[in-house]
């Protein structure tokens, strides 16, 4: 991104993702509480999963954001399926051995294997470093025992990146690949407010080899944080896409709907609500692109502060935008099958996952007091 404008190529990617989302929307709406393998195959056929994992690694955070924003404008379910292929597999791309990448990533890109990122536990959410799932040495390998909760794509995923304790503190966390079907692995689906494939897994002495380690022993926390630094701005992009969709519906309605003899957009209370939405969404979009650009330009010192700022501002903006849009639509926005009713359910979770708004503010405050950000 240069001079605050997207290049023509980036604009094309954003529009292309939106139109792919439009095409996949009917398929995506089928059973959104389960892993939708036809939808994931569709994302692969359209080349979007290939954009997520370019040959030789080096995913562009800006491309990731543009695809998520575009898909979110037309189908949140397609967006989520896309994002989860990335989140689950990215630790392998980023820190796995060449052999591990060759073993798993091509099937993820083809949409044949569905990955999951398994960090959260019943007793450790925001405080991820307090995780307790144990990896005990067993000959040349390890045995994993414990539970993970609120894991997207679980228990239907084909492979899990599992973060486990091999020692004390943050430096005592290691990441492993665990294939579905491993002896001792079981799981259960969870039903959430917005339908989403998500569940718990339990590991009972699951055997993994040393070659299943993602990165070195003790590097797991860094693997998780590096993955989140890439994905946090893109959660903001998802939020921007939802906010834009809400704004479009509200604007169209405000122009058409008449009350007291005139279109409601002529009432200042309504037009200012729309204006505030426009201001905040534009600011959120800029923050998201700037954080993505910092990632792509290797500005690691700025990335944590920027990514946290983009995520917290964009997700909170989207919440206000969807709420404001419903206010403008009145009762019809609350009909069960209305887009805004759907977005109202969808918009809540991004303020919780990949670090709650409070955790983002803690990170921003830490970077601020250390003098690393803003710059
Ligand atoms: C739809 C959805 C999908 C998810 N997918 C995944 C996934 O694929 N993989 C995965 O590993 N996890 C996933 N999660 C879990 C998610 O990452 C956690 O829910 C999140 O990290 C928060 O943890 P928690 O829910 O246990 O809340 P808690 O950590 O218990 O926090 C509760 C409250 O306390 C606040 N709080 C905690 N610590 C502090 C602090 N230091 N300062 C200020 N406030 C604090 C929090 O902000 C929050 O408001 C998903 C969650 C959802 C909702």
Query: What is the best residue among 352, 355, 362, 366 to mutate for testing ligand 1's pocket, by most ligand atoms within 8 Å of CB?
Result: 352
pLDDT in tens, 98-137: 999 999 999 999 999 999 999 999 999 999 999 999 999 9
**Ligand 1 mean position to 127 CA, how many Å?**
8
User: Mean pLDDT for the chain?
Assistant: 96
Is 230's C-beta closer than 6 angstroms to any atom of ligand 1? no
Is 353's C-beta closer than 6 angstroms to any atom of ligand 1? yes
Is 175's C-beta closer than 6 angstroms to any atom of ligand 1? no
**Ligand 1 mean position to 353 CA, how many Å?**
6
Top-confidence residue, 199 or 59 = 199
Is 151's C-beta closer than 6 angstroms to any atom of ligand 1? yes
Distance in angstroms (rounded) separating the CA atoms of residues 213 and 338: 45
Per the CB < 8 A criterion, the answer to whether 208 and 144 are in contact is yes
Whole-number pLDDT of residue 296: 94
Whole-number pLDDT of residue 135: 98
- Give the residues across from 152 on adjacent strands: 198
pLDDT in tens, 207-237: 999 999 999 999 999 999 999 989 999 999 9
Whether residue 63 has pLDDT greater than 90: yes
DSSP state string for 82-143 = HHHHHHHHHHHHHHS-HHHHHHHHHHHHTTSS-EEEE--BTTBSS-GGG---EEEEETTEEE
Whether residue 1 has pLDDT greater than 60: no
CA atoms in the 13 A half-sphere facing the CB of 148: 28
Whole-number pLDDT of residue 351: 98
**Alpha-carbon torsion angle 152, 155, 160, 161, nearest 10:** 50
Q: Where are the alpha helices (DSSP H) in 174-257?
A: 220-256
Q: Which two tokens stand for residue 350?
A: 């991004």
Is 161's C-beta closer than 6 angstroms to any atom of ligand 1? no
All domains in the chain, ordered by first residue? 8-109 (1.10.540.10), 115-218 (2.40.110.10), 221-369 (1.20.140.10)
**Alpha-carbon torsion angle 28, 79, 95, 297, nearest 10:** 150
**Ligand 1 mean position to 150 CA, how many Å?**
9
Residue 196 Ramachandran class (φ > 0 left, ψ -120 to 50 alpha, else beta): beta
Q: Which two tokens stand for residue 266?
A: 């002529």
**String of b and e for 28-52 (b: at least 16 CB within 10 Å)?**
bbeebbebbeebbebbbebebbebb
Distance in angstroms (rounded) separating the CA atoms of residues 97 and 93: 8
Is 150's C-beta closer than 6 angstroms to any atom of ligand 1? yes
Please report the atom of ligand 1 found closest to the CA of residue 119: 11
Per the CB < 8 A criterion, the answer to whether 314 and 287 are in contact is yes
**Ligand 1 mean position to 125 CA, how many Å?**
5
Percent of the chain with pLDDT over 90: 95
Question: β-pairing, 115-118 with 159-165?
Answer: parallel
Tokens 């543009």 -> residue: 66
**Ligand 1 mean position to 355 CA, how many Å?**
6
What pTM, to 2 d.p., does this model score?
0.97
Q: Where does the pLDDT of residue 316 fall: very low under 50, low under 70, confident under 90, or very high at 90 and above?
A: very high
Whole-number pLDDT of residue 195: 87
Whole-number pLDDT of residue 375: 83
Whether residue 2 has pLDDT greater than 70: no
Whether residue 326 has pLDDT greater than 60: yes
Q: Tell the residue nearest (CA) to atom 27 of ligand 1.
A: 125
Q: Tell the residue nearest (CA) to atom 17 of ligand 1.
A: 353
Any idea how long the chain is?
375
Query: What is the best residue among 353, 357, 362 to mutate for testing ligand 1's pocket, by most ligand atoms within 8 Å of CB?
Result: 353
N- to C-terminal Cα separation, the chain: 17
The residues annotated as belonging to the active site are 354
Please report the atom of ligand 1 found closest to the CA of residue 118: 11
Q: Where does the pLDDT of residue 277 fall: very low under 50, low under 70, confident under 90, or very high at 90 and above?
A: very high
Distance in angstroms (rounded) separating the CA atoms of residues 177 and 162: 6
Percent of the chain with pLDDT over 70: 99
**Ligand 1 mean position to 273 CA, how many Å?**
31
CA atoms in the 13 A half-sphere facing the CB of 300: 4
How many CB atoms sit inside 10 A of residue 132's CB?
A: 13
Is 356's C-beta closer than 6 angstroms to any atom of ligand 1? yes
């Amino acid at each position: 991104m240069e001079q605050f404008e997207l290049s023509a190529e980036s604009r094309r990617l954003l529009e292309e993702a939106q139109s792919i989302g439009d095409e996949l929307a009917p398929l995506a709406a089928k059973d959104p509480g389960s892993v939708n393998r036809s939808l994931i195959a569709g994302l692969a056929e359209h080349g979007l999963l290939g954009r997520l994992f370019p040959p030789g690694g080096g995913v562009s955070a800006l491309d990731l954001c543009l695809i998520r924003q575009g898909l979110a404008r037309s189908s949140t379910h397609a967006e989520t399926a896309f994002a989860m292929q990335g989140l689950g597999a990215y630790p392998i791309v980023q820190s796995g051995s060449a052999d591990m990448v060759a073993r798993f990533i091509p099937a993820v890109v083809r949409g044949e294997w569905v990955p999951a990122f398994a960090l959260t536990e019943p007793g450790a959410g925001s405080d991820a470093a307090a995780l307790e799932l144990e990896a005990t040495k067993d000959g040349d390998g390890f045995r994993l025992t414990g539970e993970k909760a609120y894991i997207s794509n679980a228990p239907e995923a084909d492979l899990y990146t599992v973060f486990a304790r091999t020692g004390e503190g943050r430096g005592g966390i290691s990441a492993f690949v665990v294939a579905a079907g491993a002896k001792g692995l079981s799981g259960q689906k969870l039903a959430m407010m917005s339908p989403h494939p998500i569940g718990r897994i339990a590991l009972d002495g699951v055997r993994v080899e040393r070659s299943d380690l993602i990165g070195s022993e003790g590097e797991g926390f860094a693997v998780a944080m590096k993955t989140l630094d890439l994905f946090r701005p893109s959660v903001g992009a998802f939020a921007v896409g939802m906010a834009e969709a809400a704004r479009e519906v509200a604007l169209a309605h405000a122009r058409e709907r008449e009350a007291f003899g005139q279109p409601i957009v002529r009432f200042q209370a309504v037009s200012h609500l729309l204006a505030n939405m426009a201001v905040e969404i534009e600011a959120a979009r800029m923050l998201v692109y700037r954080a993505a650009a910092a990632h792509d330009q290797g500005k690691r010192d700025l990335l944590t502060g920027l990514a946290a700022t983009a995520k917290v501002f964009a997700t909170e903006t989207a919440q206000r935008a969807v709420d404001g849009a419903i206010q403008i639509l009145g009762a019809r926005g609350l009909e069960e099958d209305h887009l805004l009713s759907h977005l109202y359910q969808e918009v809540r979770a991004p303020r919780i996952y990949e670090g709650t708004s409070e955790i983002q503010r803690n990170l921003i405050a830490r970077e601020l007091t250390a003098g690393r950000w803003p710059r």
